[in-house]
Amino acid sequence: MTFGRSGAASVVLNVGGARYSLSRELLKDFPLRRVSRLHGCRSERDVLEVCDDYDRERNEYFFDRHSEAFGFILLYVRGHGKLRFAPRMCELSFYNEMIYWGLEGAHLEYCCQRRLDDRMSDTYTFYSADEPGALGRDEVRPGGAEAAPSRRWLERMRRTFEEPTSSLAAQILASVSVVFVIVSMVVLCASTLPDWRAAAADNRSLDDRSRIIEAICIGWFTAECIVRFIVSKNKCEFVKRPLNIIDLLAITPYYISVLMTVFTGENSQLQRAGVTLRVLRMMRIFWVIKLARHFIGLQTLGLTLKRCYREMVMLLVFICVAMAIFSALSQLLEHGLDLETSNKDFASIPAACWWVIISMTTVGYGDMYPITMPGRILGGVCVVSGIVLLALPITFIYHSFVQCYHELKFRSARYSRSLSAEFLN
C-alpha cells in the first residue's frame, strides 16, 4: 500500500460509526474486495473511489454504510458463522449492502435466499452487478486466506454441477447431460417398436449396440451423481432433494436388472417372462425428469406443485366429493329406477365414477353416456359443476406459478451475470 500515513502498521475502517482496526498485511488479502482494493490505492483520488472519506492523520477510512449489516458480513467472511439477514432490516437493503462490499445472494443461507427471491419477485427488483466493488461469487473467500483455494475449488465444482448457467463449463456439462438424456430416451422408445424388436431378434449386434449405448448413458449419469454428492455441502440435504431422488430412481433399476440378469441367466425363462425386469427397464422414463435440472420451465412446475400442495389437495377433495354425489345419482337414474330399460354402463357406482371424471374434466370420450332424460340433465349439471370446481383453486395456483417463475428467473439471471463476468475476465 503506497498511500497513507507512513509507518502505520494498521488502518481503521469506520463503517457507519463503527470502527474496525485491520493490519496492512490482512488488508491485502481481505475477503471483501472493496476493502482489499484499499491496499492498491496510490493516491487520494484512488482512495475516494473506494470509500466516502479519508483521514490521513489517523489513517482512517470512512464508509457511509449500514454498520449492523457490515458487522454480519464481517463475521461471515471471518468464518464465525453463516450469512443471514440482519434482524429488523429489509432484505433488499441488506442485499444492497452485500453487493456494495462484494458478496452475492448465493452466499446467503438457503432460507434467506428464499426470502430474498420472494422479496425481489414481489417488487420486481433487479440488482445489477456493475456497481463498484461487486464481484463474482468465486472471488469471495470467506473463512480466511489459507482455506480459500480448496473451499473456492469445491464451491466452483458444486456450482458447475448444480447450476447450469453459473459458468461456461457448467453450460457445456449441462448440454452433454441433455444429449445423454435425449439419446437414452430415443433408444428406449425405439426398443418398444415391433420392427426394432424383430430386427434385434434377427440381428444380435443391434441389441448389443443398444445395450452399449444404455450402459454409456447410465455410466455418465452415475458419475455425475457421485461427483455432485462428493462436492455437496450437506450430504443429508443432498439425499433429500427431489431431483436427486429422481436421479437415484432412474439409475438404480439398471443395476438391479443387470444383477437379475447375472443371477437368472441371459436367456432364461424367468428373464423372458419376468414382469419385474420389464418394469425396471421402463422406469428409465424418469430420465426425462432430469431435464428439470437444466430448464427453468420444468423447475417452475415442480416448485409450484411443491408450494401449492394444499390447493392441489383441496382440488382433489372437490373432485372426490362431486364424483361421489354425481356417480350415485347417475347410477340411480340410469340403472336403479327402471331395471327393464336400464343402462348397463351405469350398473354400479364405481363404473359411474369413470363417467363423472371424464364429464367434469370436459374430456367426454363417448364410451359411456346417459340415455334417459333425467340422466342427461344430470350430465349437464355435472359438466358445469366440474368447470366451476376446477376453476376455483386455479387462481391460487396461477399466482404461485408466476411467483415461482420470477424467483427462478432472478436466480438464473444472477448466475448468468457471473458467466458474463467470466467471459470479460
Which structural domains are found in the chain, ordered by start? 8-107 (3.30.710.10), 175-293 (1.20.120.350), 297-413 (1.10.287.70)
CB 255 within 8 A of CB 281: no
Cα separation of 297 and 287, whole Å?
A: 16
Rounded to the nearest 10°, the torsion over CA 23, 24, 29, 34 is: 100
The pLDDT tens digits along the chain (425 residues) read: 455 555 567 788 899 888 888 887 777 778 788 888 887 788 888 888 888 888 888 888 899 998 888 888 888 888 777 788 888 888 888 888 888 888 877 788 878 877 877 776 665 444 443 343 333 434 444 444 444 566 677 777 877 777 777 777 878 888 888 888 888 888 878 877 887 777 777 777 777 787 888 888 888 888 888 888 888 877 888 888 877 887 787 788 788 877 777 776 555 444 444 566 667 667 777 777 777 777 777 778 888 888 888 888 888 999 999 999 999 999 888 887 766 667 888 888 988 999 999 999 888 888 888 888 988 999 999 999 999 988 888 888 888 888 788 777 776 666 555 544 444 44
Return the residue matching grid coordinates 453459473: 166
Residue 18 has phi, psi (to 5 degrees) of: -90, 130
- Dihedral over Cα of 238, 241, 244, 250: its sign: positive
**CA geometry: angle 331, 335, 338, nearest 5 deg:** 140
Residue 30: CB atoms within 10 Å: 22
Contacts of 213 (CB under 8 A, 6+ apart): 183, 184, 187
Amino acid at 349: I
Cα separation of 418 and 166, whole Å?
A: 6
What pTM does this model have?
0.53
The upper half-sphere exposure of residue 373, i.e. CA atoms within 13 Å in the direction of its Cβ, equals 0
Judging by DSSP bridges, how do beta strands 60-63 and 10-15 pair with one another? parallel
Rounded to the nearest 10°, the torsion over CA 138, 139, 145, 151 is: 0
Residue 123: CB atoms within 10 Å: 10
**CA geometry: angle 223, 229, 232, nearest 5 deg:** 135
Q: How far is residue 39 CA from its own chain's centroid?
A: 40
Residue 111 has phi, psi (to 5 degrees) of: -65, -40
Bridge partners (DSSP) of residue 168 are none
